Amino acid sequence: MTKLQTSSRRLLRLKEAARYVSLSPWKLRKLVQDGQLPIVKYGENAPWLLDLRDLDGWVERNKQSI
């Protein structure tokens, strides 16, 4: 997925979202389960969708200087 394709959509599936923030899908799933990132879910068996704005906010909150 290119940057242009990602930026034209607000909601991403878990694997796409993980790629967007350069994490493994398992690490991103753990962040969701730990309450650090919300998901959009519209049904019991629906895929987890993550909002680009939430992902960008998570990145901003976790920036560190060394």
Report the pLDDT value the prediction gives residue 30, as an integer from 0 to 100.
Answer: 98
pLDDT in tens, 2-19: 554 555 789 999 999 999
On whether the CB atoms of residues 20 and 55 are closer than 8 A, the answer is: yes
Given a cut of 60, whether residue 53 has pLDDT beyond it is yes
| Residue at token pair 């607000």 | 10
pLDDT in tens, 22-49: 999 999 999 999 999 999 988 889 999 9
pTM above threshold 0.85:
no
List the one residue out of 20, 26, 22 whose CA is nearest residue 7: 20
Fold for the domain defined by 3-54:
Arc Repressor Mutant, subunit A (1.10.10)
Report the pLDDT value the prediction gives residue 4, as an integer from 0 to 100.
Answer: 43
